[in-house]
Amino acid sequence: MKLFIIPTPIGNLEDITLRAIRILNEVDLILAEDTRKSGILLKHLGINKKMFSHHMHNEHKTVEMISERIANGEKIALITDAGTPGISDPGFLLIRECISKGIEVECLPGATAFVPALVNSGLPSDTFCFEGFLPQKKGRQTKIKSLVNEHRTMIFYESPHRLVKALEQFIEYFGAERRASVSRELSKMFEENKRGTLLELADYFKTKTVKGEIVIVVEGNKMKDVNIEKHESEEHT
């Protein structure tokens, strides 16, 4: 009958809507990125429903089966470990499959990490681009170089152990004085929003043991566009 896309809390378990709770109680099946983690949330909410694992390692194999179950009359909800499915999490493939089969998809509004990080940064939020996770190795520098002349505020997700590396690479291509902010542990007890230049942030986090999920918000290029090939050749002469 319908696929429901339901955001779940990114930290504080109170950050879930009444509508989301109602639908989770009504559906026939809940697709979860990690059934153990989702089980904690569902237990907290008093919801006892059958769950099925749906994650990046099996979604290619299961989208056909799941979409057929919905087409045959089931109501199914998709949740992830935290935040809105499809935003740097599984969801896109199943949503696309359902749409292609004429199955109704309903996405609820709710928690996602980059919106509070963007608003908290103090950087322009009237226009921005969400880049998600940078490539870990191959293509990482190429991606950053392609954003040198991006004028909109940029948003990145990053893991704790690559935070300083990311900030140092941003300094190399965007400049040490570019304004930015780093948000971590959003909505949790030890939430931190640190603002400053890229250089100030890199120096600060070099001295800390960082835990939790990271959102980096970087000011867009407000200066004259840079010819990145010319810039790199001049640096090596």
> What pLDDT does 223 receive?
85
The structure tokens listed for 174 are: 């965007």
72: left (phi over 0), alpha (psi -120 to 50) or beta: alpha
Q: 179: part of which helix (H) or strand (E)?
A: strand 179-184
Distance, in Å, from the CA atom of 68 to the CA atom of 104, rounded to the nearest integer, reads: 13
pLDDT in tens, the chain (237 residues): 899 999 999 999 999 999 999 999 999 999 999 999 999 999 999 999 999 999 988 889 999 999 999 999 999 999 999 999 999 999 999 999 999 999 999 999 999 999 999 999 999 999 999 999 999 888 999 999 999 999 999 999 999 999 999 999 999 999 999 999 999 999 999 999 999 999 999 999 999 999 989 999 999 999 878 776 655 655 555
**Cβ contacts of residue 148 below 8 Å, gap of 6+?**
173, 174, 221, 226, 228
**Cβ contacts of residue 71 below 8 Å, gap of 6+?**
101, 103
**CATH code (residue 10):** 3.40.1010.10
Residue 216 amino acid letter: I
User: Is 237 contained in some domain?
Assistant: no
Domain count, the chain: 2
Which is it for strands 214-218 and 192-197: parallel, antiparallel or unpaired? unpaired
User: Based on the domain organization, do 122 and 224 belong to the same domain?
Assistant: yes
User: Is 236 contained in some domain?
Assistant: no
User: Based on the domain organization, do 89 and 15 belong to the same domain?
Assistant: yes
The whole-model pTM stands at 0.90
Number of neighbours of residue 43 by Cβ within 10 angstroms: 10
